[in-house]
Amino acid sequence: MYKLFKFNILLIIMGILTSCSNMPLKNFTPEVSLKDFKLVDFGFFKQDYKLKLQLKNPNPIPIPITGLNYKLELNGQEFTNGSSDKSVTIPANGEEFLEIDVTSNLLSTIGQLKDLKSLLNRNFEYNLSGDINVIGGATAIPFTYKGDIALLQD
């Protein structure tokens, strides 16, 4: 009887440990924001920029990112969109930066560039949206972030 009692206690402990390990953790969506916007090359038909994105992870586990898709709007007009296959791991409860190269064309930018002098001293409202591809993730994680930024910075 004593052996049966020990066996039952062992089964109960194993059941408790197994059930706790299978409890789902509440995962929070990573936050993606635009931290820097630099003009790299200016041509008549296309302009190249470097965007610096800040990726924040509010989760207790790291997030390995294999790339992202994005759309950037300035003052309510689409400025650029595309994807990046750069990989980065956002540490648990931490942040990481990701620089991506983007291109726009003069026709999409011309509405924003009415007066070059006012552009130099102006902040633009932006909307950055898209989704993050995660290693082992069945679906991409969507994100959207609104803010304002100066296009030409010191």
CA distance 98 to 110: 27
User: Alpha-carbon torsion 146, 147, 152, 154, what sign?
Assistant: negative
CA distance 28 to 116: 41
Average pLDDT over residues 30-38: 89
Q: With bands split at pLDDT 50, 70 and 90, how would you rate the model's confidence at 44?
A: confident
Residue 121 in this model has a pLDDT that exceeds 80: no
Percent of the chain's residues with pLDDT above 90: 36
Q: With bands split at pLDDT 50, 70 and 90, how would you rate the model's confidence at 23?
A: very low
Taking domain 27-150, whether its CATH number is 2.60.40.3080 is answered by no
Residue 4: the pLDDT is 62
**Could you tell me which of 54, 59, 68, 83 has the C-alpha nearest to residue 147?**
54
At 62-96, the pLDDT tens digits run: 999 999 999 999 888 888 899 999 999 999 999 99
Rounded to the nearest 5 percent, the helix, strand and coil shares of the chain are 20, 50, 30
Residue 128 in this model has a pLDDT that exceeds 90: yes
Q: Where are the domains of the chain?
A: 27-150
Mean residue pLDDT of the chain comes to 80
Residue 130 in this model has a pLDDT that exceeds 60: yes
Tokens 């969507």 appear where? 142
Is the separation of the CB atoms in 58 and 48 below 8 Å? no
